[in-house]
Amino acid sequence: MSARRPWARALVPAYAAAIRVKSWLRHAGVRQTRALGWPVVSVGSLSAGGAGKTPVVIALAKLLRDGGWTVDVLSRGYGREGRGVEKVQGDSAESARQFGDEPVLIAEQTGVPVWVGADRYAAGTLAEEQAQGGVRRVHLLDDGFQHRQLARDVDIVLVTSEDLEDSLLPAGNLREELSALQRADVLVVRQNEVDADIDAGVTSVNRRAWEMLRERGQMWIVRRKLRFPAPLRVFGAGLRPVAFCAIARPEDFAAMLQEAGCGVVETVAFADHHRYAIADVERVIEVAKGLNGSGFITTEKDAVKLTEAMRGRLEENGPLMVVALDAEFADPSAVLRALEAKLLQAEAKS
């Protein structure tokens, strides 16, 4: 196992013991799990960030919505200023501060109700109380694999090649040991990682992850791609753009830009969920000036946190291009059929 923070290796046993105690308390009934009235589909990961959960939640919300389901999303709203349970409203930088960047992006991209709150049971209860009509109703639980206080009918877990070689927190980024994958109903793996392992002649990520999945589990392959705005596409910020982002794995964003043919001269990375200030924008501008940059590129998740003043300041120094990261299932029809079978089964039991 690799360690991102080798100095923290000595703390891993204590973290692992705490996880085992929590699991034992839940098994003994001391820590309760509560169920909502509608079926719940959880989307989560083993890692603390960067697995690509948000694009998959968006893809699933659209898939279920277009399949005739009434969908909402329950999210923690990491880093938000708001308190209690709130429904996401608006798509401004102020909204991102109030509700969290990812919930605002999910609401913007899908058009479905998104509820935020540390207590996802309370969020789901309020969502059900305020729902108006609709048939075949379902909650999507965002980043829910470790949120076991809320019962779920389907547990979907994203797994990357990096996860399979990583260590537990705080030395690595894993929130649970790999054996936790036995709780999953579905594993989601990336097409490019499967292809890369096959090309290298090594045991592929889907094979290695599959061995950890419980019996009768499923595996879905997802394709991730950047979507550039028309009409200039990859050249929307010129030939020498500077990228900036506040995401868990900025190196992935930089690599995808390069692979798409975008001539990024530098990527300025901030901490995941970083709340931008005008000083951060000035830092990005200074980097661009020093490298004779032609413009700026950022992600949709970052763009929702930029105020009009910040956008204006960037655009005084070059075009600002916002790039979307889309997740697309290799076989969306099969994914929808599998989900519907599980959800209809859950409805029949309720």
Q: What is the mean pLDDT of each run of 10 residues along the chain (350 residues)?
A: 78 92 83 93 92 95 96 94 94 92 96 97 96 88 95 95 90 92 92 71 59 76 95 96 96 95 97 96 98 98 97 98 96 96 84
Instruction: Check residue 203 and give its pLDDT.
Output: 52
Omega within 30 of 0 (cis) for the link into 231: yes
Q: Are 67 and 84 in contact (CB under 8 A)?
A: no
Instruction: Check residue 63 and give its pLDDT.
Output: 97
Instruction: Check residue 215 and give its pLDDT.
Output: 65
CA atoms of 297 and 140, how far apart (whole Å): 30
Q: Token pair for residue 161? A: 């090649």
Instruction: Check residue 51 and give its pLDDT.
Output: 86
Q: Which residue has the tokens 């879905």?
A: 220
Distance of CA 51 to the CA centre of its chain: 6
Instruction: Check residue 206 and give its pLDDT.
Output: 58
114-116 and 86-87 beta bridge pairing: antiparallel
Instruction: Check residue 49 and give its pLDDT.
Output: 81
* The residue type at 57: V
218-227 and 320-329 beta bridge pairing: antiparallel
Name the DSSP letter for residue 35.
Answer: -
CA atoms of 88 and 100, how far apart (whole Å): 9
Q: Token pair for residue 245? A: 């982002």
Q: Are 321 and 228 in contact (CB under 8 A)?
A: yes
Task: Tell me the CB-side half-sphere exposure of residue 149, using CA atoms within 13 A.
Answer: 10
User: At a CB cut-off of 8 Å and minimum separation 6, what does 348 contact?
Assistant: none
CATH entry 3.40.50.300 includes domain 6-225+328-349: yes
Q: Token pair for residue 149? A: 């206080």
Task: Tell me the CB-side half-sphere exposure of residue 313, using CA atoms within 13 A.
Answer: 16
Q: What are residue 194's phi and psi, to 5 degrees?
A: -60, -45
Alpha-carbon distances, residue 136 vs 106, 131, 150, 282 (angstroms): 21, 12, 20, 49
